[in-house]
């Protein structure tokens, strides 16, 4: 199975982008499953299930950082998506502090940033941009050509190896190459590993344990099925 993780702060256009990506993948013959990770509210699972007849799930991270939540539930989610018969699992997650990055090895990492967030944004955010494979810039019709070009130049300066795609996620302009990149992605391995080092902290993820799956962690953990529970001494 292929995996793509789409990260970015609220209202940047992640869901609008994926709403255009999913039918393009379906037209190319792929079966897609969708997981949404958000803090306290999301309805994309219902919308995507209705619009595209695909298996969807959502998880609320609540007190947990959404990226931590992603590490916890992603193992379960991959199994769920495989059981549902999907070829591709799309995960949408809100990166809150921008210090973590939810991307895993062999999964495609997509960060969605909006051109309207100011020309300095690429200089302000860290691994969520620099560890991504593709930076998708949305709302390009809202800003002057000057700001669009400076924004682009500053992404290239902050993350030279990241591919940039500028899209109009509302109308689906420029989306095809993103669907192509997902379709070209190799299958994931049995064991998934987080791509970057998480920041210093106190839970097992915070102290740097990168193995995917709640089974490998202690403290407040979360499974896809169960809500928060405590595991450990």
Phi, psi of 123 (to 5 degrees): -85, -15
For residue 22, state whether it binds another protein (rule: CB under 8 A): no
For residue 158, state whether it binds another protein (rule: CB under 8 A): no
Beta-carbon count within 10 A of 209 CB: 14
| DSSP H or E segment with residue 58 | strand 56-60
For residue 62, state whether it binds another protein (rule: CB under 8 A): no
For residue 141, state whether it binds another protein (rule: CB under 8 A): yes
CA atoms within 13 A on the CB side of 17: 34
Which residues contact residue 85 at a Cβ distance below 8 angstroms, ignoring those fewer than 6 apart? 31, 55
Q: How many whole angstroms separate alpha carbon 203 and alpha carbon 193?
A: 17
For residue 146, state whether it binds another protein (rule: CB under 8 A): yes
For residue 96, state whether it binds another protein (rule: CB under 8 A): no
CB closer to another protein, 78 vs 143 = 143
* Shortest spacing between CB 41 and another protein, in angstroms: 27
For residue 165, state whether it binds another protein (rule: CB under 8 A): yes
For residue 47, state whether it binds another protein (rule: CB under 8 A): no
Instruction: Catalog residues that contact another protein under the rule CB under 8 A.
Output: 116, 118-119, 137, 140-150, 152-153, 163-166, 171-174, 176-177
């Amino acid at each position: 199975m292929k995996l793509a993780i789409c990260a970015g702060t609220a209202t940047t256009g992640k869901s609008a982008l994926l709403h255009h990506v999913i039918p393009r993948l379906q037209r190319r013959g792929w079966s897609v499953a969708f997981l949404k990770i958000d803090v306290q509210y999301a309805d994309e699972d219902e919308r995507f299930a209705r619009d595209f007849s695909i298996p969807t799930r959502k998880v609320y991270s609540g007190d947990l950082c959404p990226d931590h939540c992603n590490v916890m539930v992603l193992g379960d989610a991959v199994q769920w998506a495989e059981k549902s018969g999907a070829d591709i699992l799309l995960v949408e997650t809100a990166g809150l502090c921008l210090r973590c990055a939810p991307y895993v090895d062999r999964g495609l990492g997509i960060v969605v940033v909006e051109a309207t967030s100011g020309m300095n944004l690429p200089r302000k955010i860290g691994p969520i941009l620099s560890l991504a494979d593709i930076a998708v810039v949305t709302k390009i019709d809202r800003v002057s050509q000057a700001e669009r070009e400076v924004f682009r130049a500053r992404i290239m300066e902050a993350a030279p190896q990241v591919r940039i795609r500028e899209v109009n996620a509302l109308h689906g302009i420029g989306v095809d190459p993103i669907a192509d990149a997902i379709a070209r992605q190799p299958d994931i391995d049995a064991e998934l590993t987080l791509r970057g080092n998480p920041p210093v902290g106190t839970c097992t993820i915070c102290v740097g344990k990168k193995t995917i799956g709640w089974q490998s962690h202690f403290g407040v953990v979360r499974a896809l099925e169960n809500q928060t529970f405590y595991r450990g001494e």
